[in-house]
């Protein structure tokens, strides 16, 4: 108790105090990272998706080859060499390694080796006998130099030739160019129609939206594949009819997505503020609301490309494709299917290209979808 009284009785003169840091401002330390925009954040996340990056490079390489590939080896896509029909692949340099050397393993009668295949037998792999109707025939499994057999020792067809002697390398990349052009152009047109239609429907709402959605339901109720086939059969085969056929119903999915985006954003405060300031509908639609849907638009368009390419290839495979002699991937697959067992290379290479396109576009689109997902913003 006495200690407390002693403290109370202590008198300290105010002159004994002095201000510390009188002329300095004392503030809390500010922690702030670099501001990152939406698209920059999306690209940072996209770059971390290794599968999508690899898929993007594959797509780029195929596009470049579709542009320059047909002019790389001196043959045109319509040039025919009947005497050199169905030649296997032969590539300079690789032939010395025993691959892509223009040879083919064949089962031939032993009696024909010295007659039909004289000087063309590279190696005999096996000998066996077969019996048919009581008679025995000696057979030989031999590796035959097809180029020498057809007097084409000085020529090279990197991926072989088709049934009428056309260079498969040139036709493959020419066909890839056609398929990519049809797929990408149809998606771009569908995207434009879908964005405009969905923006008007979602922005105005009410009876305008109701009428426009009923029209979509009527068009969407017709089986799209049947509609495309009938349209192509009516207009005939060709690039333009193909593109027109695929935009009959292809824009519906894009329009519905855009409509949903407009319903989501048109009631936001910044849109209401712009409307209060007298902004026109066109400004509100294309400047304030639509930019928020850029991510979903890019993603859906990318994922739609493989579907368009597959549709073109499927119809071409059915014989409703591009007019001869213009190739496409579907046309090449249809031609190769006729001789699949004896000459599989005619089907193998187009199948590899379309498989790479399907897989790469889907992986690339999935990467974009995850990158533009606003719920993942700021996450690793």
**Which contacts qualify for 280-286: CB closer than 8 Å, 24 or more apart?**
281/203, 284/203, 285/199, 285/200, 285/203, 286/199
* Percent of the chain clearing pLDDT 70 (strictly above): 90
Ramachandran angles phi, psi of 139, nearest 5°: -120, 155
Q: How far is CA 72 from CA 18, 25, 66, 69, 170, in A?
A: 87, 72, 11, 5, 8
- Write out pLDDT tens, residues 110-147: 888 878 888 888 888 899 888 877 788 888 899 999 99
Between CA 349 and CA 10 the distance in angstroms is 100
Q: Which of 82-86, 176-180, 196-200, 286-290 has the lowest mean pLDDT?
A: 286-290
How high is the pLDDT of residue 27?
Answer: 63
User: How large is the average pLDDT for residues 96-104?
Assistant: 89
Sequence spans of domains, the chain: 52-75+165-376, 90-149
Between CA 305 and CA 365 the distance in angstroms is 9
DSSP state of 167: B
**Average pLDDT, whole number, for the chain?**
86
- Write out pLDDT tens, residues 317-351: 887 778 778 899 989 998 999 899 889 999 999 99
Q: Is domain 52-75+165-376 annotated with CATH 1.10.3720.10? A: yes
CA angle 121, 105, 331 (to 5 degrees): 125
Q: Which of 5-9, 97-101, 289-293 has the lowest mean pLDDT?
A: 5-9
pLDDT band at 242 (very low <50, low <70, confident <90, very high): confident
pLDDT band at 26 (very low <50, low <70, confident <90, very high): low
- 178, 232 in Cβ contact below 8 A? no
How high is the pLDDT of residue 34?
Answer: 66
User: How large is the average pLDDT for residues 222-229?
Assistant: 82
How high is the pLDDT of residue 188?
Answer: 94
Kindly report the pTM of this predicted structure: 0.83
- Whether the pLDDT of residue 8 is over 80: the answer is no
How high is the pLDDT of residue 376?
Answer: 65
Ramachandran angles phi, psi of 108, nearest 5°: -130, 160
């Amino acid at each position: 108790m006495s200690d407390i009284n002693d403290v109370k009785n202590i008198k300290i003169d105010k002159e004994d105090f002095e201000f510390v840091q009188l002329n300095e401002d004392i503030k809390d330390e500010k922690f702030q990272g670099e501001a990152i925009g939406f698209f920059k954040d999306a690209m940072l996340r996209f770059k971390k998706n290794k599968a999508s990056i690899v898929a993007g490079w594959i797509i780029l390489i195929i596009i470049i080859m579709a542009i320059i590939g047909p002019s790389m080896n001196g043959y045109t896509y319509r040039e025919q060499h009947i005497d050199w029909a169905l030649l296997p692949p032969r590539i300079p340099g690789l032939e010395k390694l025993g691959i892509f050397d223009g040879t083919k393993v064949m089962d031939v009668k032993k009696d024909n080796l010295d007659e039909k295949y004289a000087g063309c037998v590279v190696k005999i792999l096996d000998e066996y006998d077969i019996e048919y109707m009581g008679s025995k025939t000696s057979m030989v499994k031999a590796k035959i130099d097809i180029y020498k057999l057809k007097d084409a020792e000085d020529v090279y067809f990197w991926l072989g030739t088709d049934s009428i002697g056309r260079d498969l390398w040139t036709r493959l990349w020419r066909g890839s160019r056609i398929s990519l052009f049809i797929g990408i152009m149809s998606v771009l047109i569908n995207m434009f129609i879908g964005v405009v239609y969905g923006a008007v429907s979602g922005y105005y709402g009410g009876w305008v939206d109701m009428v426009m959605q009923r029209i979509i339901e009527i068009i969407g109720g017709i089986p799209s594949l049947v509609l495309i086939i009938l349209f192509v059969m009516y207009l005939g085969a060709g690039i333009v009819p193909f593109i027109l056929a695929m935009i009959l119903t292809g824009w519906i999915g894009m329009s519905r997505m855009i409509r949903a985006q407009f319903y989501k954003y048109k009631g936001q405060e910044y849109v209401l503020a712009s409307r209060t300031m007298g902004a026109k509908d066109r400004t509100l639609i294309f400047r304030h609301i639509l930019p928020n849907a850029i991510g979903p638009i890019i993603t859906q368009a990318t994922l739609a490309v493989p579907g368009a390419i597959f549709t073109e290839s499927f119809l071409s495979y059915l014989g409703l494709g591009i007019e001869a002699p213009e190739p496409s991937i579907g046309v090449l697959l249809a031609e190769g299917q006729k001789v699949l067992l004896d000459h599989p290379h005619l089907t193998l290479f187009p199948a590899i290209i379309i498989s790479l396109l399907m897989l790469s576009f889907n992986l690339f689109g999935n990467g974009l979808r995850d990158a533009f997902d606003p719920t993942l913003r700021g996450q690793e």
